[in-house]
Every structure is written in C-alpha cells, then in structure tokens.
Amino acid sequence: MPKLIISGRGGCGKSTLVTLMAQRIEEQGKKVLVVDSDESNLGLGAMLGIEPGEKTLMDYLGGRPAVMDKLMAVIREGGDEKAELFPENSFLEDLPSDFVRWNGNKGFMQIGKIEHSHEGCACPMGAVTRDFLNQLNVNGEEWVLVDTEAGVEHFGRGIVEGADSVIMVVDPSNDAVLLSEKTAELTGEAGKSFGVVLNKVDHETKIILEDVLKKKNIPIQGFIPYSKTMARENLNGNMLDIKMVEGGIDEILNRVESHYQNK
C-alpha cells in the first residue's frame, strides 16, 4: 500500500487526519507507520496514544553534526544533498525500536526536532526524511503516513519523491484554497497523485469549498466534519478517536486505496 504525504497550512488538521486514518487502518487489521517529519510538532504522539521512541531518526543516525558531515561531503563531491543516510531496501519489520514505537499494528516515529536556539535550519531533517522514504519498502497490507510541516517546503526538499501520493488538508479558509492550487502544481511536477480532504467543515462551508475546488479542478477525496469533542480532547492533550467524528475516513481510505491499486 502507499506511502502518503499529508500536507497543508498550519492548523488545518494534518495531524488529526493522520491520527484518524492510522486508527482506521489498524482496525482493518493492516499495519501502519506514522512518520512525524514536522520539526516543531510536539503533540502527535499524544493524539495517536503512542509515546515517542527513545531517539528520533536524526539521533539514531548520529545527530545533526553527523548528518551534516555526510551531506557536506556529498555537496563537495558535486552532489545535491542526496546522501545515503539510511540502509537500502528497509522494511517496517526491520526498523529499530530505538526510534520506532509500536502499539499493536500502529507505529510512530519522529524524524527530528529543533531542540536549541541557534541550532540551525531544518534542512538536514528534510534530507533524512527524503532518504528514509526512498529506502523504505512497504508490503501490500502496510501503509506509511507522513505528517509534514506547514506549507510546501517539503516539496523543495524533495521529500515527495519517496512517496506515492500527496493528500492536502483544506480547512475553511481562502489561504487553504490558494495553497491547494500551489500544492497540486508541485505534486504534478513531482509526478505524484494529489487530492484534498476538507476538514473542520459544517454543511455550509463544505458546499462552498466543494464548489470552489471543483472549479479549480482540485480532486476531493473526502471530508471530516467539525467536532467540538475532538477539539476539546486535543486541547487537553488526549488521544483522539475516530468515534468523535461522523464518517469520512472510510471514504478517504477507499479512494486512496482504489487509486493506488489502479496505478
């Protein structure tokens, strides 16, 4: 099954979608790995109900200095930051427990976090994410969901090249609509499939967004209605549950799965 990039503007609900999709995939008896590639997101583990591993993937690879040394060595040789940071042809069952934590068939890992002032940019984490996704193989009943940072920088860093599809979360805002056009363009340049999921919508905003996006030829994969219960539980740092929303997730998964199988 696919490796999915979950994209969108800040606060649109990327982590919420990832959490709900992961829960449903696990309930279907399939294996799912959630990859936190956002260097500033601290709450995804709580939403999933899984404590982060002892190390991030960056830590496991020796930390920022070791990763930067490898990247600079490649650049000095005339490369483009495509250093081989992770073992080739890795499978989910091969991933060390140092940086991956499993709860049943649902796994969680973090690429890396900004830990100190003046530490530097997140570029090395982007390189690590790109190499990890390129080297990771998934079997027929396995999914990988990548929660990204806000915006489109992951496209500039080439992270999308190791994925199969991009799903953008669109909340009821003009910024999200405008960003969906740019994200669709960048996804097309990368040769990947694209679709959006409407989030935090009521009946009225759902109709408005559907009309606007269809006029822009933006494919809609499904929607998640606004849930006061989910907002409250997230505010309190509690695990989210698919029962907090009415429908939507099955439709999204079915469309993604159908598209992937028909490639």
Exposure class string for 225-243: b at 16+ Cβ within 10 A, else e: bbbeebeebbeeeeebebe
> What does residue 108 show for φ and ψ, rounded to 5 degrees?
-145, 135
- Helix, strand, or coil here: 184? helix
Superfamily of segment(s) 3-261:
P-loop containing nucleotide triphosphate hydrolases (3.40.50.300)
> What does residue 150 show for φ and ψ, rounded to 5 degrees?
-65, 145
Whether this prediction's pTM lies above 0.85 is answered by: yes
Per-domain residue ranges of the chain: 3-261
If we measure between CA atoms, which residue out of 257, 228, 244, 235 comes closest to residue 43?
235
What is the pLDDT, as a whole number, of residue 119? 64
Long-range contacts of residues 175-178, Cβ cutoff 8 Å, at least 24 apart: 175/9, 176/8, 176/9, 176/12, 177/209, 177/212, 177/213, 177/216
What is the pLDDT, as a whole number, of residue 77? 72
- Angle (CA) 87-125-54 rounded to 5° is 75
What is the pLDDT, as a whole number, of residue 217? 96
Q: Could you read off the pLDDT tens digit of each residue along the chain, which spans 263 residues? A: 789 999 999 999 999 999 999 999 999 999 999 999 998 888 999 999 999 999 999 999 898 888 888 877 777 776 655 667 788 888 999 999 999 999 999 999 999 887 777 666 777 888 899 999 999 999 888 999 999 999 998 898 889 999 999 999 999 999 999 999 999 999 999 999 999 999 999 999 999 999 999 999 999 999 999 999 999 999 999 999 998 887 789 989 988 887 766 66
For residue 82, the one-letter residue type is K
Distance CA(3)–CA(25), nearest Å, equals 13
- For residue 100, what are its two tokens? 């991956």
- For residue 26, what are its two tokens? 């696990």
What is the pLDDT, as a whole number, of residue 37? 94
What is the pLDDT, as a whole number, of residue 263? 62
With contact defined as beta carbons under 8 Å apart, do 127 and 157 qualify? yes
